[in-house]
Amino acid sequence: MDIYILGQQLLNGLTLGSIYGLIAIGYTMVYGIIGMINFAHGDIYMISAYLTAIILSLIFSLGITSLPVVLLVTLFLAMAITGAYGWAIERVAYRPLRGSTRLAPLISAIGMSLVLQSYVQISQGARNQGVPILIDGVVRLGGEEQFVQITYIQILIVIASFIGMAALTYIILKTSLGRQCRATQQDRKMAAILGINTNRIISTVFVIGSSMAALAGVLVTLNYGSFDFFIGFVIGIKAFTAAVLGGIGSLPGAMLGGIVLGMAEGLFSGFVSSDYKDVFAFALLVLVLIFRPSGLLGKPEIEKV
């Protein structure tokens, strides 16, 4: 086994896993608070890719060329707009069904996913679209002929992913908002009796989760450069797999699940076959659920009696 090929695949897997982890955070936050899976979350990521292209075109049309300014404005606007999408999805697709059966919100989420896909397909077109490469350059480790390399944008993806997870973990564990989120998770009715606006907390969680998906969407779009209206489905399923793998309901577990899944895919693609990497990823999920149903960092759910 070539050590350089192994190192390259691990770095590629780390980058891919960081993307999965960022999106998985949105799944795990929503599930942790209201016990529902937001299957429209991947399409929020897809919308952020289109927003990235639209915002960049507007910024360049204004004559702004400073790269830090361009990146910060794009990231801020994309996160704000997708946060609004998350808020609207919660109000339209989830809140009216909150007291219904567990199947109804699931069907509603799948319907919302199809609505968002069709909306983007009709408004932006079905063909692939792209953005110019803004961040180039690589870091190379090794010799002249054999080396391991990672691009600057990949480094940025990994750093942003871990900063995002650390910031959200701090918010949940150390702030008043986090205490209200945990109270809403444990007992929504008692939290409301104690004066917590549970509707506001749940909406806030959707906004935060959507913003994390937007962070991933902006960085991935700048990395790969191309996208279409269907990218949210595949990566959304992979991110959900990462959330379950790490232990859905745990923020560090979501990131760990993403890293494990990304590295497993990278190694399988490099040394076995890239055609069957999705099969391997879901087989890994099945094995984890068989031997550790709560995930790598998840805790067994305790039934209230």
Say yes or no to pLDDT of 3 above 90: no
Q: Which two tokens stand for residue 268?
A: 């399988």
Please tell me the pTM assigned to this model.
Answer: 0.88
Task: Dump pLDDT digits (tens) for 150-181.
Answer: 888 989 999 988 898 888 888 888 899 889 98
Task: Dump pLDDT digits (tens) for 275-288.
Answer: 788 888 888 878 88
Can you spell out the DSSP letters for the chain? --HHHHHHHHHHHHHHHHHHHHHHHHHHHHHHHHS---TTHHHHHHHHHHHHHHHHHHHHHTT---HHHHHHHHHHHHHHHHHHHHHHHIIIIIGGGTTS-SHHHHHHHHHHHHHHHHHHHHHH-SS-EE----S--EEEEE-SSSEEEEEHHHHHHHHHHHHHHHHHHHHHHHSHHHHHHHHHHH-HHHHHHTT--HHHHHHHHHHHHHHHHHHHHHHHHHHH-EE-TTHHHHHHHHHHHHHHHH-TT-HHHHHHHHHHHHHHHHHHHHHT-GGGHHHHHHHHHHHHHHH-TT-SS--PPPPP-
The pLDDT assigned to 82 comes to 94
Of 75 and 249, the structure prediction assigns the larger pLDDT to: 75
- Note the CATH number of domain 3-291: 1.10.3470
Domain locations in the chain as residue ranges: 3-291
Angle CA 251–257–261, to nearest 5: 155
Mean pLDDT of 55-66: 90
Task: Dump pLDDT digits (tens) for 78-104.
Answer: 999 999 999 998 998 888 887 777 788
- Which amino acid is located at 39 in the chain? F
